[in-house]
Amino acid sequence: MLVFEKKTDLEKHLTEQRKRGHTVGFVPTMGALHKGHISLIERSKAENDVTVCSIFVNPTQFNDKSDLEKYPRPIEADKALLEKTGCDVLFVPGEREIYPEGGETRDEGRGTKEGMGNTDMGIVGTTVQHLPADTQSQLRQTSLKSDNRYLQVQLGDLEKVMEGTRRPGHFEGVVQVVSKLFDIVSPDRAYFGQKDFQQQTIIKEMVRQLNYGIQIITCPIVREPDGLAMSSRNARLTPSERAVAGIISQTLFTIQKLAGKLSVDELTMLVESEIAEGSLTELEYFEIVDAGTLQPVLNLDKAESAVACIAVKVGQVRLIDNVILK
């Protein structure tokens, strides 16, 4: 496996690969790799000539500094796992490599896009303010550097639900880093997990709006034997927290079985009683949403699609999961 820290070195290597007619599959991750990540690498290997995995704990998608600090970073174990899986290329950029202009967590007073330490965007706040809105907007667009194209993405209602409302700015950070990584890797296909359902929907929307010619492939959730969705955060659960965490997926599987028989309200009440507020678990949200718009489904019979999404705090660890109902 080739390991690159500099984007120019990676770009040079991938240009060579493409000259040889090789297709490129890309799996962006934040490391602390487990079988869920590995399933994406394996799928990419099966569908592409070259598979690139990136490991970058992206500060701009964290709105809680302590969550960022506590995020596990077992880089040597990750490298060994990727070697074993037969991953071709690992990209492990430092923070300055991705954010030469500076990248911060969202809890440092940087709530708006214009305040994101981007020198080009300074024009928006100063010189052009007196110009008509249309001209301002045009100037804004032309002042964007290619690696700041993410600023044009309008997430609209997609980020006004679930993770978006609980983690303000999170998806702006995700779109920012994934667009930068897409610009560096220029893959034919990119692989994301169904586990982060809202994220994969938003990435598909970003690809649509920015006209990236990249196929986004969503891979099924890989689970522990008791059903708990694999997550890098599971490592932070204490043994007693880990023992109760299985309730999250077990409740979702029950919902899946009963979806044809009970209403959305009844299903929601069932979840609220199953994951009752205890000393170890706290239900943050349970929502049944349309898979495309992510807006709440009110009537399952009439819905075209439906995904049951949940977020639960187990001790200090926030876990998410989902199941597709139709």
- Catalytic positions, written as ranges: 37
Q: Which of 25, 36, 59, 164 binds ligand AMP (CB under 6 A)?
A: 36
Q: Is 196 in the site for ligand AMP (CB under 6 A)?
A: yes
Task: For residue 201, state whether it binds ligand AMP (rule: CB under 6 A).
Answer: no
Is residue 187 near ligand AMP by the rule CB under 6 A? no
What are the residues whose beta carbons fall under 8 Å from the beta carbon of 298, sequence distance 6 or more?
Answer: 264
Joined tokens for residue 6? 């500099």
Retrieve residue 238's tokens.
């204490």
Is 38 among the residues that bind ligand AMP (CB under 6 A)? no
DSSP 8-state secondary structure symbol assigned to residue 86: T
Judge contact between 56 and 93, C-beta under 8 A. yes
Residue 271 CA: distances (Å) to CA of 13, 44, 245, 284? 50, 35, 14, 11
Nearer to ligand AMP, 3 or 262 (CB): 3
Nearest approach, Cβ of 296 to ligand AMP (angstroms)? 22
Q: What are the backbone dihedrals phi and psi of residue 158, each rounded to the nearest 5 degrees, phi first?
A: -60, -30
Mark the segment that binds ligand AMP (CB under 6 A) among 31-39, 73-81, 284-292, 300-308. 31-39
Q: Which is nearer to ligand AMP, 93 or 193 (CB)?
A: 193
Contacts with ligand AMP by CB under 6 A: the residue count is 17
User: How far apart, in whole angstroms, are the C-alpha atoms of residue 4 and residue 176?
Assistant: 21
Give the C-alpha distances (Å, rounded to integers) separating 174 from 61, 110, 111.
6, 15, 14
Minimal distance, residue 38 CB to ligand AMP, in Å: 9
The enclosing H or E element of 176 equals: helix 170-185
Under the binding rule (CB under 6 A), the answer on residue 231 touching ligand AMP is yes
In DSSP terms, 217 is beta-bridged to 191
Task: Determine contact, residues 316/298, Cβ cutoff 8 Å.
Answer: no
Asked if 192 is part of the footprint of ligand AMP (rule: CB under 6 A), the reply reads yes
Task: Output 58 or 118, the one with its CB closest to ligand AMP.
Answer: 58
Please tell me whether residue 230 binds ligand AMP under the rule CB under 6 A: yes
If one asks whether residue 25 binds ligand AMP (CB under 6 A), the answer comes out as no
Q: Which residues bind ligand AMP (CB under 6 A)?
A: 29-30, 36-37, 39-40, 192-193, 195-196, 219, 221-222, 229-232
